[in-house]
Amino acid sequence: MSNIIDLKLVELVDKIKKKELSSTEVTIDFIERSKKSKKLNAYISENYENAIKKAKIFDQKPDFKKKLPGIPIAVKDLFCTKNIRTTAGSKILENFVPTYESTVTQNILDEGGIIIGKLNCDEFAMGSSNETSYFGNVQNPISENLVPGGSSGGSSSALAAKLTPATIGTDTGGSIRQPASFTGTVGLKPTYGSCSRYGIVAFASSLDQAGPMTHDVKDCSLMLEIMSNYDTKDSTSVEFKRENYLDNLNENIKGKKIGIPKEYRVDGMPKEIDELWEKGIEIIKKNGGEIVEISLPNTNYALPTYYIVAPAEASSNLARYDGVKYGFRSKGENLIDMYEKTRSEGFGDEVKRRIMIGTYVLSSGYYDAYYLKAQKVRRLIKNDFDEAYKKVDAILTPSTPSSAFKIGEKLNDPVSMYLNDIFTVPINLAGLPAISIPAGHDKKGYPLGLQVIGKAFDEQSILNIAFALEKNISFKNNITDWWIK
């Protein structure tokens, strides 16, 4: 039999259900490998001992009706986990221990999942390379000194390196799909309102969504099924019929109309990405899908819109970090001085930069020129998609305009870092579901992804299209375990 860590999530579940493997064996193997992989810096907090205890308890009285029977899983450190430290990658929450569980992690626990640790991420999920984390850079298992993407960089690294059989991330402007694309893994951002935001450290509330990150589309369908539910604790949670995504998964895309937006052919995009896109188009045609040229005319305005809306919401969400009730506090001469020093020392540079952008665009005299303008353009961007979906069932694009870059390469140029999210940000603005699947390599051997964007609440269709693509692409990640001596 192959090694436990090489098994996909669905295979692990199956083997535990058939009693070929115990939860304890599986949990120990992933933990042992995590211990040997400290060099990746994927974890912020470990929950190893507790997890093994829970696995043993599961094995004593196993419940095989659960969807994740005794499965170990590490999660992004943006999800509040009861009694397990939750930092959001920030110094300001370095010692914060939540008294409650996020709905999404509770769903995982309810299905028998066991949390083995909390994974590194950009501070408050603000970043595209995991370099803004207070807890340090994360290595991409693909190659040394390569970023794993961000903000869910610890998640993508841990998954690709097989430290966890599946994981979860959050996606505000591409934070699941871009790291998935950089590490040769699958990442899905559900429709806004699909997964509850309760207990997720808030960044930009009208854009944030939690979603699965997995080795393949089957695993992704299973995780989505577990994570997604209507939740009264999140006022923007949407009541709609959730599918049995895994049971319904099928590769038949005959007659499906797939849109190719011409605006996504950006200048300077590497040739390999264009070829990858063509390859995707050919596969769709070969499998009976119909390719339709579409236009999303306001695509170029998505990033500037995002860099008003997201910081504005962040500046108001992060106002709560005042050093009073929880988190880091700095000494001050008076209350105001204490606030100012606490926030100055507790937040990193990128977070401060975004709070200040947000404060500025919301401030008196500038609100109409920036914030209101951005909300109007956001409507135009959403209208583009509404128009397109009159003609097509889904849209196919590359996931990112480049493959993973070196650590430090883009750190001093915020705008060039932001451009990384050019293909993912419009989807968050429109609240749509989208999945990134690994589809090939560039000439350096780094993975590249394709993105399938769906209609709101139609996750099943994009999973099916991704499944068909996956079967025809047969992508293989080249990971050499270079970080294990």
Partner 1 sequence: MTIDLKTVKHISKLSRISIDDNKAKKLGKDLNSIFSFIEKLNELDTKNTEPLTSIAETTLKLRKDEIKSENIREDILKNSPDKNKDFFVVPKVVE
Q: Which residues are catalytic?
A: 76, 151, 175
Q: Which residue type does 285 have?
A: K
With CB under 8 A as the contact rule, the residue among 332, 401, 461, 473 that binds partner 1 is: 332
Work out how close the CB of 415 gets to partner 1 at its nearest, in angstroms, rounded to a whole number: 5
Least spacing, CB of residue 312 vs partner 1, in Å: 11
Among 235, 267, 443, 474, binds partner 1 (CB under 8 A): 235
Interatomic CA distance for residues 303 and 98, integer angstroms: 33
Least Cβ distance, residue 95 to partner 1 (angstroms): 8
308 binds partner 1 (CB under 8 A): yes
Instruction: Count Cα atoms within 13 angstroms, Cβ side, for 163.
Output: 32
Closest CB to partner 1 among 145 and 363?
363
Q: Of 95-103, 168-176, 266-274, 462-470, which segment contacts partner 1 by CB under 8 A?
A: 95-103
Site for partner 1 in 370-429 (CB under 8 A): 370, 372-380, 382, 414-415, 418
- How many residues in the chain? 485
DSSP 268-300: T--HHHHHHHHHHHHHHHHTT-EEEEE--TTGG
For 145-184, letters b (16+ CB in 10 Å) and e give ebbbbbbbbbbbbbbbbbbbbbbbbbbbbbbbbbbbbbbb
377 or 468, CB closer to partner 1? 377
Q: Which of 22, 50, 143, 206 binds partner 1 (CB under 8 A)?
A: 206
43-46 sheet: strands from edge to edge: 43-46, 114-119, 72-76
Is the Cβ–Cβ distance between 398 and 453 less than 8 Å?
Answer: no
Q: Quote the least distance from Cβ 337 to partner 1, whole Å.
A: 8
Tokens linked to 129: 């390379």
Residue 414, token pair as written in the block? 């915020």
- Whole-number Cα distances in Å, 38 to 5, 79, 81, 161, 226: 17, 22, 22, 11, 29
Q: Locate 150 and state its tokens.
A: 């961000």
With CB under 8 A as the contact rule, the residue among 158, 210, 303, 448 that binds partner 1 is 303
Task: Write out the binding residues for partner 1, residues 54-93 only, by CB under 8 A.
Answer: none
> Is 104 exposed, middle or buried, given 0-12, 13-18 or 19+ CB atoms closer than 10 A?
buried
- Which helix (H) or strand (E) segment holds residue 210: the answer is strand 209-214
Residue whose CB is less far from partner 1, 254 or 376: 376
Question: How many residues in the shown chain lie near partner 1 by CB under 8 A?
Answer: 67
Closer residue to partner 1 (CB): 73 or 427: 427
Using the rule CB under 8 A, give the single segment among 53-61, 64-72, 123-131, 229-237 that binds partner 1. Answer: 229-237
CB of 25 to partner 1, least distance (A): 34
Binders of partner 1 in range 335-374 (CB under 8 A): 335-341, 343-344, 347, 352-353, 355-357, 359-360, 363, 370, 372-374
Q: Which stretch binds partner 1 (CB under 8 A): 116-124, 171-179, 284-292, 314-322?
A: 314-322
Q: Which amino acid is at 410?
A: K
Q: Give the residue with the Cβ less far from partner 1, 192 or 245.
A: 192
Residues with Cβ < 8 Å from 292, sequence gap 6 or more?
257, 258, 259, 260, 391, 392
Q: CB atoms < 10 A from the CB of 316, how many?
A: 16
Residues that bind partner 1 (CB under 8 A): 95-97, 99-100, 192-193, 206, 232, 235-236, 238, 298, 300-301, 303-305, 307-308, 315, 319, 322-329, 332-341, 343-344, 347, 352-353, 355-357, 359-360, 363, 370, 372-380, 382, 414-415, 418, 430-431
